[in-house]
Amino acid sequence: MAMSAVAVPTSGSDIGAPGDGQPQWRLPDAGWGRKAADAATLHEPQNIREYVAMHQHLKVGGGTRLLDVACGAGLAVELAAARGATAAGIDASARLVAVARDRSPEADLRVGDMRALPWADHAFDVVTSFRGIWGTTPEVLDEVRRVLRPGGLLGLTVWGHVKASPGAWALRPLLWAQASQVAHQAAMNSLGKPDVGERLLTEHGFEAVRRVVVPFVWEFADPESYARAVACTGPGYEAIQAIGEERFLHDAAQLAAEHARDGLPLRAEINLVGFIGRAPAPAGTGSSFLAEPVELTPAAAASYADDSAELGYVMNATRLWAHDTEALELLFKALGRVSRTAGLSIRDRGILVTAAASTLGDSYCSLAWGGKLATAASAQLSAGVLSGDDSLLDDRERALSRWARRAAADPNATTAADVEPLREAGFSEAQILAITAYVALRVAFSSVNDALGAVPDWQLRAGTPEAVLAAVTFGRAPAAGPGSS
Ligand SMILES: C[S@@+](CC[C@H](N)C(=O)[O-])C[C@H]1O[C@@H](n2cnc3c(N)ncnc32)[C@H](O)[C@@H]1O
């Protein structure tokens, strides 16, 4: 059977006969869910290169709140969770979602219609869809934008120039469906054409839209397993409805046999296109006033990974400084050096940072370091320093907190007498310089974060003692967490 037109497997959204009592969006289950175990084990693992590449492009990692739209049997959800993401997925096929739940019991997996996503606004950092959103379902893009946080990323894949692909033969059985279905598949497959996907995503409000390289190869042990893997897809089912299952399996296996290779698996490399777009972040609603870089430098990617490993999420300050992670590293190197010269313990640094940050009105560092000081000392002591009450500090610590406030509030208003308590506490001249530099460098860090609107991470609310939270009555409020919008 010759390949006469550009037609490719589709989401199968229109499979089934309307009017049989169930909503239209449930109909894909007839094709995709019919042989769910085959789809999960023979078909879906073929797409693994695509999942890994897109997760890498989207920097999916620890703490990423990710939704996979048209998640099928949930292999992509499982892989995202393996990278540390908090994963969710939705698919119209109840039988595929059952497999996805079996694979990822922790994930939030729902049977439903991608045109009406059952999640709150801004619930996700990343939304993926692997060959699930098509030219015929543009309204889904509005739903995706709604559930993405401002600045969050959409990554979707669609078929590219299939006819020019070395593995085009592997999609040929899908042309054995009725002509009207083949025509519909071709209509769905328009996004991969030059500029079409970019235009559609931009029209639906996404920014910084770009194409990315996505490897896609199907490999099969033998012609029979190939035939079964294609038969369990939605468009495969359309072809089976037209010519019958027995003939479909026979003809597909025969087609594949023409491509068999001695000692090697059958291999079909197919051109796939990936798009990445960013949900707009109106001023004051993103992680800061600056848009997050779409392409991370290796240093920025490493700092995201460090945050994820250490905290389970990427701090908004890290996202802001991703525009020049090296500058931040230099700043922290200098902080480390002066801290060592001054001989500052974690508790000393907590006192200096909370005293300076609260003087500046910087809620972000006050919360982050208020929590650390609470751990190193106590929540009451930390809340006290944040509110200007040093009664739980000893004389040496009091010298530190008072000097931090003086230097941060107005360095031109200090006097020689202000330095004296530091000497009395036993600090040398070199250490006093180092302590002052430590405060000044923290002021620089706070100033950049505050001036550029870095929003304290919502996770700080959960991880910070009540007394400390209550003491931070100034600065920008922490971001709203999931479920609070
Ligand atoms: C080409 S498959 C892709 C599945 C999966 N993303 C993968 O990588 O294998 C398309 C999927 O879209 C689902 N689907 C079709 N229409 C849908 C709708 N309106 N809402 C949710 N899922 C839908 C089908 O059930 C099917 O699992």
The SS3 call for residue 330 is helix
Which residue's alpha carbon is at the smallest distance from atom 2 of ligand 1?
11
Which residue's alpha carbon is at the smallest distance from atom 23 of ligand 1?
92
pLDDT band at 152 (very low <50, low <70, confident <90, very high): confident
Give me ligand 1 centre to Cα 189, in Å: 14
Closest atom of ligand 1 to 72 CA is: 27
Q: What is the pLDDT of residue 17?
A: 44
Q: What is the pLDDT of residue 480?
A: 64
The strand pair at 124-130 and 108-111 is best described as: unpaired
Q: Please report, as a single letter, which amino acid is at residue 29.
A: D
Q: Look at residue 124 and tell me whether its pLDDT is greater than 80.
A: yes
Q: Is 429 exposed, middle or buried (0-12, 13-18, 19+ CB in 10 A)?
A: exposed
Residue appearing with tokens 């025969």? 254
Q: Is the CB of 70 under 6 A from ligand 1?
A: yes
| DSSP-assigned states of every residue in 267-301 | EEE--EEEEEEE----TTTSSSSSPPPSS--HHHH
d(C-alpha 473, C-alpha 41), whole Å: 54
Give me ligand 1 centre to Cα 2, in Å: 27
- For residue 91, the 8-state DSSP code is E
- For residue 479, the 8-state DSSP code is P
Measured over all CA atoms, what is the biggest interatomic distance in the chain, rounded to whole angstroms?
95
Q: pLDDT digits over 266-295, tens only?
A: 999 999 999 999 888 654 457 888 988 878
| Best probe residue, ligand 1, of 10, 13, 127 (max atoms within 8 Å of C-beta) | 13
Average pLDDT over all residues of the chain: 90
List the single range of 15-19, 128-132, 254-258, 415-419 with lowest mean pLDDT. 15-19
Q: Is the CB of 72 under 6 A from ligand 1?
A: yes
Q: Is the CB of 131 under 6 A from ligand 1?
A: yes
pLDDT band at 184 (very low <50, low <70, confident <90, very high): confident
Q: Rounded to whole angstroms, what are the CA distances from 448 to 289, 300, 318, 328, 442?
A: 11, 17, 12, 11, 10
Q: Which residues pair with 158 in a beta bridge?
A: 273
The strand pair at 217-220 and 207-213 is best described as: unpaired
Please say whether the beta carbons of 407 and 353 come within 8 A: no
d(C-alpha 211, C-alpha 276), whole Å: 6
Number of DSSP helices (H) and strands (E) in the chain, helices first = 22, 9
Q: Look at residue 29 and tell me whether its pLDDT is greater than 50.
A: yes
Higher-confidence position of 441 and 283: 441
Structure token digits, residue 200: 């559609």
- Residue 90's H or E segment, with its range, is strand 86-91
Q: Which residues pair with 128 in a beta bridge?
A: 68, 155
Q: Is the CB of 12 under 6 A from ligand 1?
A: yes
Q: Rounded to whole angstroms, what are the CA distances from 141 to 114, 239, 281, 306, 470?
A: 9, 29, 16, 32, 40
Using CA of residue 278, residue 282, residue 287, residue 291, what is the dihedral sign?
positive
Give me ligand 1 centre to Cα 133, in Å: 8
pLDDT band at 1 (very low <50, low <70, confident <90, very high): very low
d(C-alpha 358, C-alpha 360), whole Å: 5
Q: Look at residue 137 and tell me whether its pLDDT is greater than 90.
A: no
Q: What is the pLDDT of residue 476?
A: 84
Q: How many CB atoms lie within 10 A of CB 464?
A: 24
Give me ligand 1 centre to Cα 11, in Å: 5
Which residue's alpha carbon is at the smallest distance from atom 1 of ligand 1?
11
Q: What is the pLDDT of residue 18?
A: 44
Q: Look at residue 3 and tell me whether its pLDDT is greater than 50.
A: no
Q: Which residues pair with 210 in a beta bridge?
A: 276
Closest atom of ligand 1 to 50 CA is: 8
Q: How many CB atoms lie within 10 A of CB 444?
A: 13
Structure token digits, residue 189: 């497959």
- The pLDDT of 25-33, averaged and rounded, is 89
| Domains detected in the chain | 24-278 (3.40.50.150), 299-471 (1.20.1290.10)
Q: What is the pLDDT of residue 429?
A: 98
Q: pLDDT digits over 192-215, tens only?
A: 888 999 999 999 999 878 898 899
Give me ligand 1 centre to Cα 397, in Å: 61
Q: pLDDT digits over 229-271, tens only?
A: 999 999 999 999 999 999 999 999 999 999 999 999 999 999 9
Q: Is the CB of 137 under 6 A from ligand 1?
A: no
- The pLDDT of 351-367, averaged and rounded, is 96
pLDDT band at 296 (very low <50, low <70, confident <90, very high): confident
Which residue's alpha carbon is at the smallest distance from atom 8 of ligand 1?
130
Residue appearing with tokens 């609470």? 374
Instruction: Report the share of the chain in percent with pLDDT over 90.
Output: 73
Q: Which residues pair with 274 in a beta bridge?
A: 157, 212
Q: Rounded to whole angstroms, what are the CA distances from 341 to 6, 184, 338, 431?
A: 69, 71, 5, 6
Q: Is the CB of 33 under 6 A from ligand 1?
A: no
Give me ligand 1 centre to Cα 29, in Å: 9
Q: Look at residue 16 and tell me whether its pLDDT is greater than 60.
A: no
Q: Look at residue 482 and tell me whether its pLDDT is greater than 60.
A: no
Q: Look at residue 12 and tell me whether its pLDDT is greater than 70.
A: no
| DSSP-assigned states of every residue in 203-233 | HTT-EEEEEEE---EEEESSHHHHHHHHHTS
d(C-alpha 92, C-alpha 89), whole Å: 11
Q: Look at residue 340 and tell me whether its pLDDT is greater than 70.
A: yes
Q: Is the CB of 325 under 6 A from ligand 1?
A: no
Q: How many CB atoms lie within 10 A of CB 126?
A: 25
Q: 340: Cβ–Cβ under 8 A, 6 or more apart, which residues?
A: none
Give me ligand 1 centre to Cα 193, in Å: 21
Q: pLDDT digits over 368-425, tens only?
A: 999 999 999 999 999 999 999 999 999 999 999 999 999 999 999 999 999 999 999 9
| Best probe residue, ligand 1, of 22, 32, 128 (max atoms within 8 Å of C-beta) | 32
Q: Is the CB of 91 under 6 A from ligand 1?
A: yes
Q: What is the pLDDT of residue 285?
A: 59
Closest atom of ligand 1 to 90 CA is: 21
Q: Is the CB of 93 under 6 A from ligand 1?
A: yes
Q: Is the CB of 6 under 6 A from ligand 1?
A: no
pLDDT band at 63 (very low <50, low <70, confident <90, very high): confident
Q: Is 432 exposed, middle or buried (0-12, 13-18, 19+ CB in 10 A)?
A: middle
- The pLDDT of 169-189, averaged and rounded, is 88
Q: Is the CB of 348 under 6 A from ligand 1?
A: no
